[in-house]
Structure 1
Amino acid sequence: MTVRKDVLITGASSGLGEAMARKHAACGANLALCARRTDRLIALQRELSAAHPRIKVEVHRLDVNNHDQVFQVFRSCREALDTLDRIIVNAGVSHGAPIGTGAFPANARIMQTNLVAALAQCEAALEIFRDQHSGHLVVISSMSAMRGLPHLTAYSASKAGLATLAEGIRADLLDTPVKVTTLFPGYIESEMTTSGDEPTPMMVSTEKGVTSMMKAIEAERPQAKVPAWPWIPMGFVMRHAPLRVVARS
């Protein structure tokens, strides 16, 4: 299997992105970490550089909704590390509200960030990979992409669109050295998933969830529901259950 030693991660200042950065650093990868909150990126850079002095850790401020900046930052990261072997499109937002309840700005922001901005990241990544004739694109979708969900309608639609985008890219690159992985995380503890007072059923720790994600990433699987239990069987249920059942879950 190809060794991926130079890795770019967006949304790396918190949550799953931060945890994936730590996992890659522990494996000896050089990192380009991108997010809006540079104070947190710098703190993470210091932590990882101290723990793993042989790796290089670059940090770049990036607002993924600034599409010109996406291309500029990705190119800068490639120059800083000489190459980029893996790019993880992770930056995203959640929440939203039922359609038609006056929450259009919030729902539009979700679609813009999770889908249009993800397209910009994929375009910038594939420009680099096509030029290198190699690379591994990883996109972080969600189990919410399996069906249209109440209260999370814009979010589930954005993540379904992202999964379809990644599949189309994969189809375009079949039998080439460029690989594409789509991850569908279930409930993994992070800043995005722990805002409520009530515990979420089937929630797993960040450590367990990201360990499962990393196994799928390192295997360069085309798609993976993570963690596999219970999300592989749950994915089947979500796909095939009557909408009324899905809506009550």
Structure 2
Amino acid sequence: MVTRRNILITGASSGLGEGMARQFAARGRNLALCARRLDRLTALRDELLAAHPGITVSVRALDVNDHPRVFETVKALDEELGGLDRVIVNAGLGKGQPIGTGRFDANLQTANTNFTAALAQCEAAMELFRARDAGHLVVISSMSAMRGLPRNLTTYAASKAGVAALAEGIRADVLRKPITVTTIYPGYIATEMTGRAGRTPLLAPAEKAIPLLVRAIEREPAEAKVPAWPWVPLGFLLRHLPLGVVAKMG
């Protein structure tokens, strides 16, 4: 198995991104961390360097909806770390409202961030990987991508299904090249984004789920549902449940 030494993570100032940064730092990897909140990234960098002085951690403020800036930042961090060999497209939004209730603004923001901005990140990463004929692209989707979901989850689920299809298309395009593309489908993991879902018995603590997420990424499969239990069987059920049952979710 190839060891990826230089890893870029977007959306790294909180949630899954922040957790993955800590896990990869503990494994001795060099990190390029991006998010809008530079103060939180700087504090995270200082924490990681104090705990793991042998690694390099570079940080950049980045709004992934600023597409030209995405390309500039990925290229700059690639040069700073001496070549990125894994890019984790993680930045995303979870807000939304039922379609047709006057909140197109919120739904558009989620669609733009979760899909269009992810496309920009994939384009920037794949330009590097195609040029050197090597690399690992990781796209963070969601178990919500398994089906179209009602109410506040409609746009979120659609955007995560879209980004999963995007990753699969890229995977098909480089199938015979030494470039790996992984789609991760996280289940309910306790983060800032899922804080309001605290009543569900399926919510996994971040301290247990994020190490599983990183282990799945390290295996470099085409796809992985994390945590595998109960989300592998639940994913199958979600794909095949009658729409009337699905309509009661969310």
Q: Does TM-score exceed 0.5, indicating one fold? A: yes
**What is the rounded CA distance, in whole Å, between the counterparts of 2:55 and 2:215 in structure 1?**
21
- Match in the other structure for 1:23: 23
1:83 aligns to what SS in structure 2? Answer: coil
- Match in the other structure for 1:175: 176
For structure 2, the residue ranges without an aligned partner over 5 or more in a row are: none
TM-score, length of structure 1 as denominator length: 0.98
- Match in the other structure for 2:145: 145
2:58 aligns to what SS in structure 1? Answer: strand
Answer yes or no: is 1:120 the counterpart of 2:127: no
Percent identity between matched residues is 61
**What is the rounded CA distance, in whole Å, between the counterparts of 2:29 and 2:204 in structure 1?**
26
* Aligned-partner residue type, residue 102 of structure 2: G
CA displacement, residues 182-226 of structure 1 (integer Å, 9 cap, x when unaligned): 000000000000135x52220001021111111110000100011
- Match in the other structure for 2:220: 220
- Match in the other structure for 2:77: 77
1:230 aligns to what SS in structure 2? Answer: helix
CA displacement, residues 68-95 of structure 1 (integer Å, 9 cap, x when unaligned): 0000000000010010010000000002
Answer yes or no: is 1:155 the counterpart of 2:159: no
TM-score, length of structure 2 as denominator length: 0.98
Answer yes or no: is 1:244 the counterpart of 2:208: no
- Match in the other structure for 1:37: 37
For structure 1, the residue ranges without an aligned partner over 5 or more in a row are: none
2:34 aligns to what SS in structure 1? Answer: strand
- Match in the other structure for 2:12: 12
Segments of 4+ moved more than 4 angstroms: none
Q: How many residues align?
A: 248
- Match in the other structure for 1:89: 89
**What is the rounded CA distance, in whole Å, between the counterparts of 1:132 and 1:21 in structure 2?**
25
**What is the rounded CA distance, in whole Å, between the counterparts of 2:29 and 2:38 in structure 1?**
21
CA displacement, residues 44-78 of structure 1 (integer Å, 9 cap, x when unaligned): 00000000000000000100000000000000000
1:176 aligns to what SS in structure 2? Answer: coil
- Match in the other structure for 1:202: 202
